[in-house]
């Protein structure tokens, strides 16, 4: 009894100390309630104070108390031991109220106690050591084993969230990790480097140390565990097989198995992938990895195939990189030789030496090159005609070179031969046709029809392009060949190339034409010698002689020609301020007949120049002005003195160079400059300045100053840019009216010139930003009285004019009536 009282006193002390006496927060009537309590807390913790309603006098607790939860008669619910969520996460309790006789007044009412988790359990691996294996070249990222750990804490809280990590890899080559782990699932797979570098011969096994942490690995107070993982590296059997050879056009039943691939583990799904786009891939693969050819192959259509075998898991994901399959189609002799064309044509010159190569005959075979199936043998089996004898030609057995064998040929005897050549491989024979044309050689020289074409007289002004003579030579070589075609050239008498000769390709006639103007004064007589030649070289021992040349004499007669200037346009430059009489240029002309020449000027519109008629020197006769005309153009006429007085014209262009001879001035007339009166602040006006002289720099260098002292007291002027300046007031005390401001402008030239301008400025009353001036009588404008008088006088004149017109109309009407009556009296009566 004493112990119970002591225990009750301790609870009451804890209850009062902890502040659980606040009814609105820690006490209340009996009703269904849920409480959350962290596990591991100290015992004798008050949970809630229930209030009983009369006639209830005490409380009763039942349910999953586990000897931990108790309730006092006054309704104080508490636990006397620390809770453990891993033993029981939820306690289902019932509370009832009893009266003094022990009868139930209210309840049982459900009370739920939820035990909240704290991190009081460390994660542990299911095994202290793990064993696994992996094939070399396995696909990176595909798991090949798992490690697992458990944690008794609540998995829905960070306390039970586990993170895996590889902390040691042995051996670790070049500090590169070959393995990786999924930090949430514990799945171990290869890295990209591991997929490439693992080799069971170099390192057959690896040891990993894997750690696991709770609290998501993000808390310094998290618990951890570690385990050892031993991994064996197995040889990769997923590799490309050796290249396969398949005999073309096989007659065996298809499909035919040709090779095999195999994934490292059973259950893989196999497929083939093309490397190059084909209309049909003639291969297939079964689910055991067997690869088959599905139809006969033709090497001449395609001599090799490259494709890939792919292994996938049950989810359709690749297990590793595809492996390459190479197939070579093996040739059989299934193609006969073919001729290069229906007829092969060769040419041979007559008189060729025995043994000379005529040409190379090359047959074709579609079978594989450099094998016995494609080795060709050549043989001549027929010659037409057999003149002058049979066996004039032979062909090299393997090279196909056709040679002249019997004797030299003559085109006049037989111009053409036809050969039949047998082309064979080890199984087939083909007959081909060769045509050999005998070509004439250039063993005949051209011979002129006559050696002297006599004399020809032409005026020196005969038109260029005129045909002046036809010449002709003949050649007995084969017509329309390089051996019989004739080219003519002048070898003597025309050193300046004034003549040319064109050949008619059909008749070999030569037409002598004028290529450049003839000139009596240079050469009056040309002794021309022609040479006739072939474009093909003559055969050895044959040379051109005098029969291949001819001559004629060209006599040029004189024609009176106009003088000729040395150039069509003469140009000169001079300063515009040169003195009158200065020589500015010189022109020269020459008369072909060596007559004297007189010079004169035309289009000398400004009269600035004159020319010495004898020497052609040009002088100034008046001051020049570049601003009036910067490029002065005149025409110079050269006329023969004597003879027929022929003349010719050239141009003379005189460029005038500028000098600074024009003072600056205002760019326009300024009549509307104004400032509003009265001034409230200093006013500013902008004006533009120009200079008629030429400027060699981008913008003029004008400077400005005020002329008078009085102006300088009221105004100031300054430069804005190359062409504009600013006039500003220096105070605001101006009277209304017109001011003329004199300004001196310096152009900064060499020598400098100054100009004084007067800038009118009006001070006036402004209305809406415009100058307003009241209307008044101005000179030349009528007054109001004068305007009324003018208007009345105008009306009076108009009235007089109308009256006169009216009276004349009336008089004309009366006259017409009288004439009409007289005409009626004179007209005879008609029945």
Which pLDDT score, from 0 to 100, does residue 13 have? 34
Task: Tell me how far apart the alpha carbons of residues 283 and 291 are, in angstroms, rounded to a whole number.
Answer: 7
DSSP 159: G
Long-range contacts: 290-294, Cβ < 8 Å, 24+?
290/257, 290/260, 291/257, 291/258, 291/259, 291/260, 291/261, 291/325, 292/254, 292/255, 292/256, 292/257, 292/258, 293/246, 293/254, 293/255, 293/256, 293/258, 293/327, 294/254, 294/255
Q: 752 and 660 in contact (C-beta within 8 Å)?
A: yes
Which pLDDT score, from 0 to 100, does residue 709 have? 86
Q: 127 and 149 in contact (C-beta within 8 Å)?
A: no
Which pLDDT score, from 0 to 100, does residue 213 have? 93
The answer on pLDDT for 19 being more than 70 is no
**HSE (side-chain half, CA atoms, 13 Å) at 74:** 9
Helix (H, G, I), strand (E, B) or coil at 792: helix
- Which residues make Cβ contacts (< 8 Å) with residue 810, sequence separation at least 6? none
Q: Please, what's the b/e burial string for 206-223 (b: 16 or more CB within 10 A of its CB; e: otherwise)?
A: bebebbbbbbebeeeebb
Nearest to 129 by CA among 49, 67, 19, 208: 208
The answer on pLDDT for 545 being more than 60 is yes
Q: How far is CA 787 from the centre of its chain?
A: 80
Q: 477 and 484 in contact (C-beta within 8 Å)?
A: yes
- For all residues of the chain together, what is the average pLDDT? 86
- Which residues make Cβ contacts (< 8 Å) with residue 537, sequence separation at least 6? 442
First to last CA, the chain: 184
More confident residue, 402 or 119: 402
The answer on pLDDT for 637 being more than 60 is yes
Q: Using H for helix, E for strand and C for coil, what is the string for 470-520? A: EEEEECCCCCCCCCCCCEEEEEECCCCCCEEEEECCCCCEEEEEECCCCCC
191-206 average pLDDT score? 94
Indicate the pLDDT class of residue 429, thresholds 50, 70 and 90: very high
The answer on pLDDT for 1 being more than 50 is no
710-726 average pLDDT score? 88
Q: 387 and 414 in contact (C-beta within 8 Å)?
A: yes
- Inter-CA distances, 360 with 317, 420, 471, Å: 61, 14, 44
Q: How far is CA 456 from the centre of its chain?
A: 68
Instruction: For 315-388, list the strands marked E by DSSP.
Output: 323-330, 343-349, 357-360, 377-384
Cross-strand bridge partners of residue 757: 743
Task: Tell me how far apart the alpha carbons of residues 550 and 471 are, in angstroms, rounded to a whole number.
Answer: 9
Task: Tell me how far apart the alpha carbons of residues 445 and 675 are, in angstroms, rounded to a whole number.
Answer: 106
Q: 34 and 2 in contact (C-beta within 8 Å)?
A: no
Give the strand pairing for 724-729 and 684-690. Answer: antiparallel
Q: Which helix (H) or strand (E) holds 76?
A: strand 76-79
Task: Tell me how far apart the alpha carbons of residues 71 and 76 are, in angstroms, rounded to a whole number.
Answer: 5
724-729: strand order across its sheet: 665-666, 684-690, 724-729, 715-719
Indicate the pLDDT class of residue 823, thresholds 50, 70 and 90: very low
740: buried, middle or exposed (CB in 10 Å: 19+, 13-18, 0-12)? exposed
Q: 541 and 552 in contact (C-beta within 8 Å)?
A: no
Which pLDDT score, from 0 to 100, does residue 145 have? 95
Which pLDDT score, from 0 to 100, does residue 533 have? 94
88: buried, middle or exposed (CB in 10 Å: 19+, 13-18, 0-12)? middle
Indicate the pLDDT class of residue 413, thresholds 50, 70 and 90: confident
Report how many helices (DSSP H) and strands (DSSP E) the chain contains, helices first: 5, 57
Q: Which helix (H) or strand (E) holds 817?
A: helix 784-826
598: buried, middle or exposed (CB in 10 Å: 19+, 13-18, 0-12)? middle
Q: Mind listing the pLDDT tens digit for each residue in 686-715?
A: 999 888 777 655 556 788 899 888 888 889
Cross-strand bridge partners of residue 423: 378, 430
Lowest mean pLDDT among 327-331, 422-426, 432-436, 540-544: 540-544
Which pLDDT score, from 0 to 100, does residue 279 have? 82
Taking residue 115's Cβ as centre, other Cβ atoms within 10 Å add up to 22
The answer on pLDDT for 185 being more than 90 is yes
Which pLDDT score, from 0 to 100, does residue 14 have? 38
The two three-digit tokens of residue 822, written as one number: 């007289």
Q: Which helix (H) or strand (E) holds 130?
A: strand 129-135
Q: Phi/psi of residue 118, each to 5°?
A: -125, 160
Q: Mind listing the pLDDT tens digit for each residue in 473-510?
A: 999 888 888 888 999 999 999 999 999 999 999 999 99
Which pLDDT score, from 0 to 100, does residue 308 have? 96
Q: Which helix (H) or strand (E) holds 709?
A: helix 709-714
The answer on pLDDT for 17 being more than 60 is no
Q: Mind listing the pLDDT tens digit for each residue in 331-377?
A: 888 889 999 999 999 999 888 888 899 999 999 998 888 888 899 99
The answer on pLDDT for 828 being more than 60 is no
Q: Please confirm whether the linkage preceding 468 is cis (ω < 30° from 0).
A: no
Q: Mind listing the pLDDT tens digit for each residue in 213-261?
A: 998 877 777 899 999 999 999 998 888 999 999 999 999 999 999 999 9
More confident residue, 819 or 787: 787
Task: Tell me how far apart the alpha carbons of residues 606 and 35 are, in angstroms, rounded to a whole number.
Answer: 123
392-410 average pLDDT score? 91
The answer on pLDDT for 119 being more than 90 is no
- Structural domains in the chain? 27-116 (2.60.40.60), 124-234 (2.60.40.60), 244-330 (2.60.40.60), 343-439 (2.60.40.60), 447-557 (2.60.40.60), 564-657 (2.60.40.60), 665-771 (2.60.40.60)
- Which residues make Cβ contacts (< 8 Å) with residue 92, sequence separation at least 6? 63, 64, 110, 112
Task: Tell me how far apart the alpha carbons of residues 489 and 659 are, in angstroms, rounded to a whole number.
Answer: 62
Q: Mind listing the pLDDT tens digit for each residue in 580-598?
A: 999 999 999 998 878 889 9
Lowest mean pLDDT among 110-119, 186-195, 210-219: 210-219
Q: Mind listing the pLDDT tens digit for each residue in 667-683?
A: 888 888 899 988 888 88
Helix (H, G, I), strand (E, B) or coil at 823: helix
The answer on pLDDT for 574 being more than 50 is yes
Which pLDDT score, from 0 to 100, does residue 830 have? 33
Indicate the pLDDT class of residue 777, thresholds 50, 70 and 90: very low
The answer on pLDDT for 792 being more than 80 is no
- Which residues make Cβ contacts (< 8 Å) with residue 583, sequence separation at least 6? 617, 618, 619
Give the strand pairing for 149-150 and 163-170. Answer: unpaired
Q: What angle is formed at CA 698 by the lines to CA 697 and CA 701, rounded to 5 degrees?
A: 70
Which pLDDT score, from 0 to 100, does residue 16 have? 34
Task: Tell me how far apart the alpha carbons of residues 261 and 255 are, in angstroms, rounded to a whole number.
Answer: 17
Indicate the pLDDT class of residue 829, thresholds 50, 70 and 90: very low
Which pLDDT score, from 0 to 100, does residue 349 have? 84
Q: How far is CA 675 from the centre of its chain?
A: 60
The answer on pLDDT for 776 being more than 60 is no
Which pLDDT score, from 0 to 100, does residue 812 have? 56
The answer on pLDDT for 148 being more than 90 is yes
Which percentage of the chain shows pLDDT scores above 90?
Answer: 55
């Amino acid at each position: 009894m004493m112990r119970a009282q002591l225990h009750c006193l301790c609870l009451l002390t804890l209850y009062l100390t902890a502040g659980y006496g606040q009814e609105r927060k820690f006490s209340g009537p009996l009703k269904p309630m849920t409480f959350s309590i962290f596990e591991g807390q100290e015992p004798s913790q008050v949970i809630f104070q229930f209030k009983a309603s009369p006639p209830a006098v005490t409380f009763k607790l039942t349910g999953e108390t586990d000897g931990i939860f108790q309730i006092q008669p006054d309704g104080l619910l508490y636990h006397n031991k620390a809770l453990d969520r891993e033993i029981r996460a939820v306690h289902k309790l019932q509370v009832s109220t009893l009266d003094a006789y022990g009868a139930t007044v209210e309840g049982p009412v459900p009370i739920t106690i939820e035990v909240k988790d704290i991190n009081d359990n460390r994660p542990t691996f299911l095994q202290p050591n793990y064993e696994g294996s992996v094939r070399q070249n396995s696909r990176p990222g595909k798991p090949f084993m798992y490690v697992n750990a458990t944690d008794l804490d609540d998995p829905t809280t960070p306390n039970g969230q586990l993170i895996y990590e590889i902390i040691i890899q042995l051996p670790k080559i070049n500090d590169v990790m070959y393995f990786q782990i999924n930090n949430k699932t514990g799945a171990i797979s290869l890295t990209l480097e591991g997929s490439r570098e693992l080799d069971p011969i170099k390192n057959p096994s690896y040891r990993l140390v894997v750690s696991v942490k709770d609290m998501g690995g993000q808390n310094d107070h998290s618990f951890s565990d570690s385990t050892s993982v031993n991994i064996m590296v197995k040889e990769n059997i997923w590799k490309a097989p050796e290249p396969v050879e398949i005999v073309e056009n096989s007659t065996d039943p298809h499909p035919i198995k040709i090779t095999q691939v195999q994934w490292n583990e059973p259950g893989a799904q196999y497929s083939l992938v093309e490397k190059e786009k084909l209309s049909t891939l003639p291969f297939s693969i079964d689910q055991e990895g067997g690869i088959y050819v599905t139809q006969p192959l033709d090497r001449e259509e395609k001599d090799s195939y490259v494709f890939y075998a792919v292994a996938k898991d049950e989810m359709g994901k690749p297990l590793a990189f595809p492996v390459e399959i190479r197939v070579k189609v093996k040739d059989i002799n299934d193609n006969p030789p073919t001729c290069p064309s229906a007829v092969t044509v060769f040419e041979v010159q007559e008189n060729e030496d025995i043994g000379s190569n005529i040409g190379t005959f090359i047959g074709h075979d579609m079978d594989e090159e450099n094998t016995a199936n494609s080795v060709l043998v050549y043989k001549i089996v027929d010659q037409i005609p057999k003149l002058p004898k049979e066996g004039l030609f032979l062909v090299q057995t393997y090279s196909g070179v056709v040679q002249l064998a019997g004797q030299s040929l003559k085109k006049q005897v037989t111009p053409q031969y036809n050969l039949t050549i047998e082309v064979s491989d080890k199984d087939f024979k083909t007959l081909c046709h060769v045509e050999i044309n005998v070509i004439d050689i250039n063993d005949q020289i051209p011979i002129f029809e006559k050696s002297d074409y006599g004399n020809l007289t032409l005026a020196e002004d005969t038109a260029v392009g005129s045909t002046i003579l036809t010449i002709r030579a003949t050649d007995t070589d084969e017509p329309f060949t390089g051996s019989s075609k004739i080219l003519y050239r002048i070898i003597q008498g025309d050193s300046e190339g004034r003549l040319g000769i064109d050949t008619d390709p059909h008749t070999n006639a030569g037409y002598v034409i004028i290529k450049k103007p003839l000139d009596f004064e240079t050469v009056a007589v040309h002794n021309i010698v022609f040479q006739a030649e072939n474009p093909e070289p003559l055969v050895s021992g044959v040379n051109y002689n005098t029969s291949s040349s001819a001559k004629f004499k060209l006599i040029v007669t004189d024609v009176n020609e106009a003088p000729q200037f040395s150039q069509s346009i003469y140009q000169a430059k001079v300063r515009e301020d040169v003195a009158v009489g200065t020589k500015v240029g010189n022109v020269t002309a020459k008369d072909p007949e060596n007559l004297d020449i007189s010079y004169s000027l035309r289009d000398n519109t400004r009269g600035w120049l004159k020319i010495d008629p004898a020497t052609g020197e040009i002088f100034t006769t008046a001051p020049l002005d570049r601003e009036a005309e910067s490029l002065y153009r005149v025409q110079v006429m050269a006329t023969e003195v004597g003879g027929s007085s022929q003349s010719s014209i050239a141009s003379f262009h005189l460029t005038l160079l500028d000098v600074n001879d024009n003072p600056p001035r205002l760019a326009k007339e300024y009549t509307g400059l104004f400032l509003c009166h009265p001034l409230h602040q200093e006013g500013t006006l902008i004006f533009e300045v120009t200079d008629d002289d030429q400027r060699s720099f981008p913008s003029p260098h004008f400077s400005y100053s005020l002329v008078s002292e009085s102006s300088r007291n009221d105004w100031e002027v300054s430069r804005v840019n190359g062409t504009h300046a600013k006039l500003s007031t220096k105070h605001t005390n101006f009277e209304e009216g017109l001011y003329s401001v004199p300004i001196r402008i310096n152009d900064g030239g060499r020598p400098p010139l100054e100009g004084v301008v007067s800038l009118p400025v009006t001070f006036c009353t402004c209305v809406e930003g415009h100058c307003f001036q009241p209307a008044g009588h101005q000179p030349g404008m009528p007054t109001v009285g004068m305007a009324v008088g003018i208007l009345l006088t105008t009306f009076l004149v108009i009235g007089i004019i109308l009256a006169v017109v009216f009276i004349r109309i009336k008089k004309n009407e009366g006259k017409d009536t009288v004439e009409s009556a007289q005409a009626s009296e004179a007209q005879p009566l008609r029945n």
